[in-house]
Chains A and B, each alone.
Chain A
Amino acid sequence: MSELTNMSLPTGNAGDIVLEGRGLNKRYGRVVALDNADFNLRRNEILAVIGDNGAGKSTLIKALCGAVIPDSGEIRLDGQPVHFKSPMDARNAGIETVYQNLALSPALSIADNMFLGRELRKPGWTGALFRRLDRTRMAKIARDKLSELGLLTIQNINQSVETLSGGQRQGVAVARAAAFGSRVVIMDEPTAALGVKESRRVLELMLDVKKRGLPIVLISHNMPHVFEVADRIHIHRLGKRIAIINPKEFSMSDAVAIMTGAMKPPVEGATGPTQHYQVGEEASQVQ
């Protein structure tokens, strides 16, 4: 059980950077998806990544979670350079991703899904010789994780995922990420397919996960949601980060304007404390 509740993080300053990308490049033929892009995620924050369609934000996220290998550039996790060859590598390093399609197996149960790909075997000879699964322990841990996150409406841990509502499925996927992610949770459009009420619960869930000491990268098109939960907003445009803004100092329309190129990205030191607010180095070149 101890290997699963690995939520204690090495203590550090609030400004500590957990996950960092430097000068990431990725080309698909003649299409430049990442053009010397930078990225950083601090401890105990929710960092939103926004950008227009085709801005390259999904390539950036894929590079961070191992689904895409950048042509050049460096990714550092807790200061150490890492080279992810597959999502499994990133997962083993403590980066869990909640994919937009959730990556759940509909016909399998909630408990089965939470442990899919990392099942627990029974201790002793039944586990060693007959590879018998420890279903009781997995069900218990799954139930604990879900109730920790306040997902108590799910009563039967052995009911199949396809019998759940969209929000409940999202809850299972988030609980899985929170249970196994020891360093970073990446969430790709977690509220895109949900109704108002269910979106609300997922946002609460994200704040809960953050409270437990796990930083979150949130990719979303939904500005109200982004501005509600994010501590910083990374704005991606034309394959690179053109600004990081503090949602308390900028309005949603500003963010959209910067994202679409209608407004010049803020210059360093223009407004607010620089603590909250940085500029992409190439910002001036973009315009």
Chain B
Amino acid sequence: MSDDAAGSATAETGLKGAAGDVASFEEDRKGIVRTIQGILHEYPTLIPLIVLVVGTVIFAIAAPGKFLSPLNLSVVLQQVTIVAILGMAQTLVILTAGIDLSVGLIMILASVVMGRTAVAYGVPVWIAFPLGLLAGLACGFLNGLLVTALRLPPFIVTLGTWSIFGALNTFYSNSETIRSQDMEAAAPFLLWLGKLFKLYDIGVFFGLDLPWLRGWVVTYGSVLMIVLAIVLSYILGRTAFGRHVYATGDDPDAARLSGINTNRVLLAVYALAGLICAIAAWVLIGRIGGVSPQAGQTANLDSITAVVIGGTSLFGGRGSIIGTLFGALIVGVFRNGLALSGLALLWQDFAVGVLIIVAVTIDQWIRKISA
């Protein structure tokens, strides 16, 4: 604070003839509420973190012995993996003040391309798998192209492509599912992310006996989720492209005047989101042990839910990948905890709805900050 005073004094020397009664640079009325608002503004990921911790504590009390067991928490982690990865794709798009309603269907389409090309058409998996990734990338690129070249609102574009990708999905899959046994025989690689390993064994591998890791069972898909979160956080926080994503969503005119090619940023973001959806497709195949054109029907809205509860602003320019990871975990923890507490499914939906509304309300409040 003394620094500030000294700084003011230096600056005020230039104010020889100025009137003394005009508004000061100093912020004098800083109540507790403003302070909290300031802290949350600076660290927006705090809210989902707090909600996650509080939720965990509540369910630890409400469902004693059951909720906090390593096995149960492992199940929660497995359940949220796909939504979390899709949520990361969605976060990128929402940071640019857009929205992608087609993420779920890009995922399903990519999983169908991977699975069906490998199993039904007998194409080697080292071709089928990249083909699936490419399909996701192409879908995302199409979204980006429509948003930038035709200047259509992202909501409308992705509502349209959601329907288009759904039709392509039915066309390519022929509405047939691929069973686990066929997949295991033709392309076991595609199932790999669904495989489980015991965390305790990892400790043993390094010659450590870590008893607190006993009971934790994790899929490779969940590991991939965490790796993806780290990579995307790095891109958003530590590269120029990441800064440009925020700037584009925050104020596109200012971004353009600062020399950012906002169309290129948008195109890259939608394409990258499509690619991440294709990675989610790989996780999905592992999780359901095959390919089903009917899988993941709620994934679109679930991904938006994770993003919003994770503190990312729907108005763009604010939010983080880690927040979305927390957001997905919060939904998983509440659903699981409420189920273990013996409440009917409808109350899970009810709770998720309340969380969304509270999250958006808090976001609006934080955004009102200014000096």
How far in angstroms is the closest Cβ of chain A from B249? Answer: 8
How far in angstroms is the closest Cβ of chain A from B40? Answer: 12
| Mask of A139-164 contacts with B, CB within 8 angstroms, 1/0 | 00000000000111111000110111
A200 touches B18 (CB 8 A): yes
A155 touches B317 (CB 8 A): no
Distance of A135 Cα from B243 Cα, bound (Å): 12
Whose C-beta in chain B lies nearest to the C-beta of A99?
B257
* Interface-located stretch among A34-42, A104-112, A233-241, A268-276: A104-112
Is B255 in the interface zone, CB < 8 Å from A?
Answer: yes
The 8 Å CB contact of A118, one of B6, B250, B253, B259, is B259
B254 touches A150 (CB 8 A): no
Residues of B within 8 A of A197 (CB): 15, 18-19, 22-23
Residues of B within 8 A of A105 (CB): 246-247, 250-251, 254-255, 258, 317
B260 touches A116 (CB 8 A): yes
Given contacts A108-B243, A153-B8, is CB(A102)–CB(B15) below 8 Å? no
Distance of A279 Cα from B3 Cα, bound (Å): 51
A104 touches B254 (CB 8 A): yes
B250 touches A119 (CB 8 A): no
How far in angstroms is the closest Cβ of chain A from B20? Answer: 9
Whose C-beta in chain B lies nearest to the C-beta of A118?
B259
The 8 Å CB contact of A153, one of B7, B240, B246, is B7
Distance of A133 Cα from B236 Cα, bound (Å): 11
A201 touches B15 (CB 8 A): yes
Residues of B within 8 A of A164 (CB): 371
A117 touches B260 (CB 8 A): yes
Distance of A257 Cα from B318 Cα, bound (Å): 49
B240 touches A119 (CB 8 A): yes
Whose C-beta in chain B lies nearest to the C-beta of A167?
B25
Residues of A within 8 A of B243 (CB): 108, 112, 116, 119, 133
Whose C-beta in chain A lies nearest to the C-beta of B15?
A200
Distance of A97 Cα from B7 Cα, bound (Å): 27
Is B11 in the interface zone, CB < 8 Å from A?
Answer: yes
Whose C-beta in chain A lies nearest to the C-beta of B248?
A105
Is A88 in the interface zone, CB < 8 Å from B?
Answer: yes
Given contacts A105-B317, A165-B25, A195-B23, is CB(A117)–CB(B7) below 8 Å? no
B254 touches A117 (CB 8 A): no
Is A210 in the interface zone, CB < 8 Å from B?
Answer: no
Is A87 in the interface zone, CB < 8 Å from B?
Answer: yes
A155 touches B257 (CB 8 A): no
Residues of A within 8 A of B370 (CB): 162-163
Determine which residue in B22, B254, B258 has the highest number of CB atoms from chain A within 10 A of its CB, and name it: B258
A201 touches B259 (CB 8 A): no
Given contacts A197-B15, A200-B14, is CB(A155)–CB(B250) below 8 Å? no
A103 touches B258 (CB 8 A): yes
Given contacts A106-B251, A117-B258, A131-B239, is CB(A153)–CB(B25) below 8 Å? yes
How far in angstroms is the closest Cβ of chain B from A284? Answer: 39
Is B238 in the interface zone, CB < 8 Å from A?
Answer: yes
How far in angstroms is the closest Cβ of chain B from A138? Answer: 10
Whose C-beta in chain B lies nearest to the C-beta of A109?
B243
Is B28 in the interface zone, CB < 8 Å from A?
Answer: no
Residues of A within 8 A of B11 (CB): 150-153, 201
The 8 Å CB contact of A196, one of B18, B239, B251, B318, is B18
Q: Give residues of chain A (84-106) contacting chain B, Cβ–Cβ below 8 Å.
A: 87-88, 91, 97, 99, 101-106
Is A121 in the interface zone, CB < 8 Å from B?
Answer: yes
Whose C-beta in chain A lies nearest to the C-beta of B243?
A112
A155 touches B7 (CB 8 A): yes
Distance of A113 Cα from B255 Cα, bound (Å): 10
Q: Give residues of chain A (155-200) contacting chain B, Cβ–Cβ below 8 Å.
A: 155, 159-160, 162-165, 167-168, 195-197, 200
How far in angstroms is the closest Cβ of chain B from A129? Answer: 11
How far in angstroms is the closest Cβ of chain A from B248? Answer: 9
Whose C-beta in chain A lies nearest to the C-beta of B27?
A165
Is A16 in the interface zone, CB < 8 Å from B?
Answer: no
Whose C-beta in chain B lies nearest to the C-beta of A86?
B259
Residues of B within 8 A of A132 (CB): 238-239
Whose C-beta in chain A lies nearest to the C-beta of B6?
A152
A195 touches B240 (CB 8 A): no
Given contacts A117-B260, A163-B41, is CB(A131)–CB(B240) below 8 Å? yes
B239 touches A103 (CB 8 A): no
Is B149 in the interface zone, CB < 8 Å from A?
Answer: no
B250 touches A106 (CB 8 A): yes
Q: Give residues of chain A (210-254) contacting chain B, Cβ–Cβ below 8 Å.
A: none
A108 touches B250 (CB 8 A): yes
Pick 29 A–B contacts, CB within 8 A, sort by A: A88-B259, A97-B257, A101-B254, A103-B254, A103-B257, A103-B258, A105-B254, A105-B255, A106-B251, A108-B246, A108-B317, A116-B244, A116-B255, A116-B259, A116-B260, A117-B244, A117-B255, A117-B259, A130-B239, A131-B240, A151-B11, A153-B25, A155-B3, A160-B41, A163-B41, A165-B25, A196-B19, A196-B22, A201-B15
Residues of B within 8 A of A (CB): 3-4, 6-8, 10-11, 14-15, 18-19, 22-23, 25, 38, 41-42, 234, 238-241, 243-244, 246-247, 250-251, 253-255, 257-260, 317-318, 369-371
Report, nearest first, the 9 A-B pairs whose CB atoms are least far apart.
A117-B259, A152-B7, A103-B257, A119-B240, A117-B258, A116-B258, A105-B247, A103-B254, A107-B317
Q: A121-B240, A151-B11, A197-B23 are in contact. List 5 more A-B contacts (CB 8 A).
A: A91-B259, A105-B250, A153-B4, A155-B7, A204-B14
